[in-house]
Amino acid sequence: MSHFLPGQMEMIDPEVRSGQPASGSQIDVVEMKYVGANSTSWQKLFAGFNRLYAITYSSGIGFIHQLLDLFDYAEIIFGFEDVMTYDLQEILAFQSMTLERLRESNSLSKQNLIEKVGNQSLKLYVARQKLSHEKIYLLESDDGRKRVIMGSANMSHSAFSGKQRENICFLDDEQAYEWYKGTFETLKDLSTDNISVSALQVADEAENLQEIPVMQTVKIKKAMVIQPETELKEDLRFVLDVKKLAGKLSPFMPKKEKTGRMMLSPDVVTHTRRRIVEGVVQEKELRSEYPRLVIDTQLAEVTLNGKRVNLNPSQAEIHQDVNLFLDYMDGYSKFHGDVTGLQLKYYAFAVWFFTTPLMATVRNMAVRHGHTLLPYPVFGLIYGQSKAGKTTFLETLLKMMIGQKTKLTAPDFTRSSIDGLKRTVMGAPIIVDDLTQTRFAQHATETIKNDEFGVVEDLNHYPAVVISANEDVKAVAPEIARRTVVCHVQAGLKNTELMKTNIVRRIQRNIGTAMYREYLCRMLEMMPELLNDMKSDDQDEAPGILEISSNILYDLLQEHADRPLPTYIRRLTLEDYFGDKATGAQVIKKIQTAWQVNRKAFDVNKKSGQLRYNAGESWEANYILKELPEDLEASKTREWIVMDLDKACAFFEIDFRKQGLVHRMMSR
């Protein structure tokens, strides 16, 4: 670790020194003279002063507390070293995470920090605009001594302990101090927001968003203009490309030790290279097997495997496809079981399925402008009894989109394989067929919960993942249900009926892509307005791409159908997919059936306002509990589920109080 000791300093004027006019923008250049170098400790470097003014980027919380103990008064500005455009959502994210870092200290240190901010002996600021890349520490003592410490070292143990090489310089010079102090004050006034006590205590990116420093500044100043650094677009793209490539290489990397270290040897390098090459070969194979569907919303163009798709099919072609699709959906009327429910759910699933190639673009815009991703799902699950036509239904939808049928077998489904496939396929949904409960729990659950694929990489094209499974999936947990379009079907054909039917083969042989191409043409006309709405902060609700998609498909079917549309063809909203009645449809039917055939399983306590239901087995109670909405305040004791009585009556559409009357009459 080196300490360079310059002696004098003055500003260089390029025009004066060289006699040539300066090219481009003017920059501040500090001239110094080398005096010498020596080794010391950070304590000695900072000791003997009363006040500290610092600009830092990455920081160590423990080191900050140790450093602050040396001073009676301090001001610290926290900047962000990575490339960032400083759009509002990025500012909020950076400031929120900075506050989280400051809260990481132990309770005593955290309280000490809060007390110092409260009594004004410490002032903390966080960047709202791009700061200089300087790491500056300005020290001042009561007796008038001044010191400037500068270089590459951030405010952390790793930087000041000698563990890593840093360029650390200092000047004991009043003129230098005053110049750098002016820089510090300018940055503080123009580029930062003050961190208050309440921000340190409770600010977050949700309920306490108003406490984040930039929001407090808006409250004080009444108005603020956010001007993103648009000229950083290429730098940002490079950073995102690096992260994208790192994510692509991640599955092939050697395993780390428990300590986090990775040991490399020539053999490991050879093995890693072989795995990467095999991955590239597999990607090429997948690319040839899985079509690349790209929908460019800006150009209103669609390409399939690099070839332009004709978005102006003839009326005759559209007419044929529409009526074949309706024939296919009407074919489910021959099934046994809940046929009406099956047709309603399959149609809603089809609307979402057709929308999925546009979801990546919408999700990317949502992230940029601070919207939640939940209204724009990229996972779908069809599960239920066998012989319900799940696989052929998905094949038919995909054939209508791209003219071919592809699917991934269940044993090939892992999180890493899906991530790799997503980067290859682009738009057409990936169908994972016949996934078992075990593989669903092992691979699908985590894949769906971590549904932010493509967000960091700023991807506008990646596919949805559609999973089909049999009844053994049982129930879908709330954290999965709110990220997934779930379709639970309870109807099917007998074996002999399945063997005799020819409708699927006939329709799949004759149906084309004309209906979907017309649908895309109409969707692309609506996308600019939808994406523009997402840029507005005045929206009370997330713009609904599923509602737009549903209306377009409904109008398209109505225009070309040879017969009146069946009731299961309807206009849909987000509520039809993620409302409590939609996500809880299976458990609602289960409780309604139990109420009809086994009222002894229910216990009503009107005095306490509780409904208790005996599910028979503890594991069955677990499945039911997963599908109940949060506002029922449901809990479980062994095989019993306890719910709020009034809310249960509304949710299940049953007046459970009548059961209480039955109990009283029997007790008499």
SS3 assignment for 63-91: HHHHHHCCCCEEEEEECCCCCCCCCHHHH
Residue 203 lies in a domain: yes
More confident residue, 391 or 276: 391
Of 554, 580, 606, which one is at a domain's C-terminal end?
580
End-to-end CA distance of the chain: 90
CB of 574 closer than 8 Å to CB of 546: yes
Q: How far apart are alpha carbons 12 and 22 in whole angstroms?
A: 12
* 640 is a domain residue: yes
Specify the pLDDT at position 84: 56
Q: Which amino acid is at 346?
A: Y
Q: Does one domain contain both 49 and 178? A: yes
Which residues, 6+ apart, have CB-to-CB distance to 430 below 8 Å? 290, 408, 418, 421, 422, 463, 464, 465, 466
Q: What is the pLDDT of residue 106?
A: 62
Mean pLDDT of 58-62: 71
The number of C-alpha atoms within 13 Å of 244 and in the hemisphere containing its C-beta is 15
Answer yes or no: do 556 and 652 share one domain. no
Confidence of residue 75 (pLDDT cuts 50, 70, 90): very high
- Looking up residue 38, the CATH number of its domain turns out to be 3.30.870.10
567 plus 598 within the same structural domain: no
**Poorest-pLDDT segment among 4-18, 50-64, 371-385:** 4-18
| C-alpha to C-alpha distance for 61 and 113, rounded to whole angstroms | 11
Q: How are beta strands 122-127 and 73-78 bridged, if at all?
A: parallel
Q: State whether 116 and 18 are in the same domain.
A: yes
Work out the angle at residue 432's Cα, subtended by the Cα atoms of residues 430 and 438, and round it to the nearest 5 degrees.
145
Same domain for 617 and 559?
A: no
Q: How far apart are CA 647 and CA 645, in angstroms?
A: 6
Establish if 121 belongs to a structural domain. Answer: yes
Which residue, 499, 501, 507, is CA-closest to 326?
507
* Contact criterion met (CB below 8 Å) for 500 and 467: no
* pLDDT computed for residue 17 by the predictor: 38
Does the pTM of the predicted model rise above 0.75? no
Residues in the chain: 668
Query: Which of 158-162, 220-224, 271-275, 582-586 reaches the highest mean pLDDT?
Result: 271-275
Q: Based on the domain organization, do 79 and 188 belong to the same domain? A: yes
Highest mean pLDDT among 28-37, 124-133, 157-166, 516-525: 516-525
- The Cα 376–Cα 483 span in angstroms is 8
Region of 56 (left: φ > 0; alpha: ψ -120 to 50; beta: rest) is beta
Per-residue model confidence (pLDDT) at position 660: 40
Quote the CA–CA distance of 28 and 11 in Å, as a whole number.
7
Neighbours of 628 (CB within 10 A): 25
Strand partners, 465: 379, 430
Instruction: Look at residue 262 in the predicted model and tell me its pLDDT.
Output: 74
Cβ(645)–Cβ(609) under 8 Å?
Answer: yes
Structural domain includes residue 334: yes
**pLDDT higher than 90, residue 444:** no
- Residues contacting 369, CB < 8 A, separation 6+: 89, 534, 535, 537
The string of pLDDT tens digits covering residues 348-372 is 999 999 999 999 999 888 887 777 8
Q: pLDDT > 90: what percent of the chain?
A: 22
Same domain, 439 and 420: yes
Same-domain pairing of 7 and 156: yes
Most confident among 72-81, 267-276, 280-289, 519-528 (mean pLDDT): 519-528
Q: Between residues 421 and 666, which one has the greater pLDDT?
A: 421
Give the count of domains, the chain: 4
pLDDT at 94 over 80: no
- Burial category of 39 from C-beta neighbours within 10 Å (exposed 0-12, middle 13-18, buried 19 and up): exposed
The Cβ of residue 404 has, within 10 Å, a number of other Cβ atoms equal to: 14
120: left (phi over 0), alpha (psi -120 to 50) or beta: left
Instruction: Clarify whether residues 198 and 324 are in a common domain.
Output: no
Question: Is 503's pLDDT higher than 60?
Answer: yes
Q: What is the DSSP string of 597-653?
A: H-GGGEEEETTTTEEEEE-SSHHHHHHHHHTS-GGG--EEETTEEEEEHHHHHHHHT
User: Which of 580, 611, 646 is the C-terminal boundary of a domain?
Assistant: 580
* pLDDT of 574 higher than 90: no
Give the model's confidence band at 111: pLDDT under 50 very low, under 70 low, under 90 confident, else very high. Answer: confident
Q: For residues 174 and 285, what is the distance between their CA atoms, to the nearest angstrom?
A: 68
What distance in Å separates the CA atoms of residue 543 and residue 534, rounded to the nearest whole number? Answer: 7
Which stretches of 315-374 are DSSP H helices? 315-330, 339-355, 359-368
543 shares a domain with 424: yes
> Which 3 state secondary structure label does DSSP give 147?
strand
In a domain, 521, yes or no: yes
Same domain, 384 and 399: yes
* Amino acid at the residue 388: A
Nearest to 410 by CA among 465, 451, 359, 369: 465
Which residues have C-beta within 8 Å of that of residue 616, sequence separation ≥ 6? 601, 639
Q: How far apart are CA 41 and CA 49, in angstroms?
A: 15
Token couple for 336: 């046994």
* C-alpha span between 502 and 486 (Å, rounded): 28
Question: Which of 105, 12, 98, 11 is CA-nearest to residue 56?
Answer: 98
User: Average pLDDT in the 485-495 region?
Assistant: 78
**pLDDT value of position 469:** 83
Q: Which domain holds residue 115?
A: 2-221
Q: What is the pLDDT of residue 9?
A: 37
Q: Which of 527, 551, 580 lies at the terminal end of a domain, its last residue?
A: 580
Report the distance separating Cα 221 and Cα 349, nearest Å: 48
- State the pLDDT at residue 145: 93
Closest alpha carbon to 462 in 181, 205, 247 = 247
d(CA 193, CA 297): 37
The answer to whether residue 226 is domain-embedded is no
Helix, strand, coil percentages for the chain (3-state, nearest 5): 50, 15, 35
- Quote the Cα angle for 419-422-427, to 5°: 160
Query: What is the average pLDDT across 5-24?
Result: 40
Residue 443 shares a structural domain with residue 507? yes
User: What stretch of H or E contains 168?
Assistant: strand 167-171
pLDDT at 105: 62
The answer to whether position 567 is within a domain reads: yes
Please report whether residue 384 resides in a domain.
yes
**Token digits of residue 33:** 């003279």
Please, is 356 exposed, middle or buried when counting C-beta atoms within 10 Å of its C-beta (0-12, 13-18, 19+)?
Answer: buried
Query: In this predicted structure, what is the pLDDT of residue 167?
Result: 80
